[in-house]
Structure 1
């Protein structure tokens, strides 16, 4: 006996957030980036060309991908197509890996993303959502001046922010940035292979067209080696 299912049954679309665990990290990422002042994103505004993607969902997608150990722009684009939490985070937009790589490679984004990653890492650490035992090796213990149901952000930040920032910045440059660079290089190498294959395909198509024209204009009786060559090329 099997559980019944019907792939052709009409159903109403669900709000994506209702399909995601309430403790999922994407909600922390969304709240953090959404709380940032708009002035942080003014440097990306432009009046030229078509309207650009807002930097908020791009930053959100990068933070989430990095938290999952994904650094290739192609794989981040794939997450936008297939990963439910990522789809919710970017409002079901699918942003091409080229746009992702151009965005995070720009000087403005590199500087902003570095600071955002560090601040977000500190927030997760202070809220005890991550331990970072391999990163913060100085034995820092965080105790908020609050009861079990509240958290005093200001006091904890004043006491531990500088020490945590140093550790988080070191972690970003030693661990995260090299993997980002490697991910971008991986995308570029694949793109080179694709362009080379495209060039080869175009050359073969041209040769097939030339053979077809020659066969039609100069027909011969009996076996025609040109037709065999054309079949191999096709």
Structure 2
């Protein structure tokens, strides 16, 4: 069956395929010269990522979608992986987590399409069309990503306040990369003043201040 003739050009799966087609997904996949892949690894990753975008987090639900949802049939090139096949793929083939890959894609879209996430409406519809428009489903995904990131940052700052009572930074509804840089600089000054040494590698236990600093620095980069 030619699914391209059935699926509407405005469907989110079309824009998804367009976006991932412009990315080198194989760099996130561990390759091996021994034996054959159970399924095409790039197709497997596409199916998982599209499921992620559609808020399908259960591998059993993903298996079902690949058998019944025409959009997944459009992506899967006639393969129908079981939930166990997905689990093996995630456990043995991916270099980084699905969350991290999805974050990279969102950041790629924000930069490529010059998306100003501060002016998007809550439902993601009030956005000017670009020459190569990406469906609002992707922009909803970006909003969801940033919303979850802001929640993580707030949680981290509250935890930091408990561990470092002298630390002062207002909890906000949203955060700019520049403001997170200021937080990191405050922490750097405290770390230098107290002579706190960072440790790395197995057998070394990181201090809570080091963990706070590294997480906030990561959030600043992902912002």
Query: When the two structures are superposed, what TM-score results if normalisation uses the length of structure 1?
Result: 0.46
Larger Rg: 1
Higher helix share: 1
Query: When the two structures are superposed, what TM-score results if normalisation uses the length of structure 2?
Result: 0.48
